[in-house]
């Protein structure tokens, strides 16, 4: 997360915006705030986000140390993403961002409604489980 930030900022908001830059990072983080998610779950939860943007932004967030990726197997097997400990400090902020959006939605005629996230395929549990 430290890359290229060692300069002067004239208020805290400038720094925050630079770290959380872009359309999708805060949205991804906000969803992960609720718990670890599969790539496909994130995809379903954020319908307007393309595969390309999702994978790129996830990689950015990983490099920034805000998201960790857990994967069993190689290509084709699911990856799980979760907020890092480092990102814990963001939880309150993400909540506030969400709350404000929910609050102004009626004023601006917007509809905020979570997408259905289908239960994804899971590795068959052990028989003795």
Among 50, 110, 121, 129, binds a copy of itself (CB under 8 A): 110
Does position 118 interact with a copy of itself (CB under 8 A)? The reply is no
Q: Could you give the CA distance from residue 60 to residue 35 in angstroms, rounded to a whole number? A: 19
Q: Residue count at the site for DNA (CB under 7 A)?
A: 35
Does position 7 interact with DNA (CB under 7 A)? The reply is no
Strand order in the sheet with 79-83: 37-38, 79-83, 67-71
| Partners of 123 in the β-ladder | none
The phi, psi pair for 5, rounded to 5°, reads -105, 0
Does position 122 interact with DNA (CB under 7 A)? The reply is yes
Question: Which of DNA, a copy of itself, none lies near 55, with the C-beta cut-off 5 to 8 A by kind?
Answer: DNA
């Amino acid at each position: 997360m430290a890359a290229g930030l060692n300069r002067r900022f004239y208020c805290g908001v400038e720094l925050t915006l630079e770290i959380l830059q872009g359309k999708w990072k805060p949205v991804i983080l906000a969803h992960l705030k609720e718990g670890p998610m599969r790539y496909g779950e994130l995809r379903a939860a954020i319908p307007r986000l393309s595969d390309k943007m999702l994978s790129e932004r996830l990689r950015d967030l990983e490099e920034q140390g805000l998201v960790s990726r857990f994967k069993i197997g190689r290509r084709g097997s699911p990856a799980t993403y979760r907020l890092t400990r480092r990102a814990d400090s963001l939880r309150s902020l993400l909540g506030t961002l969400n709350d404000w959006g929910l609050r102004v939605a009626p004023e601006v005629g917007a509809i905020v409604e979570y997408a259905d996230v289908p239960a994804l395929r899971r590795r068959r549990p052990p028989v003795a489980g």
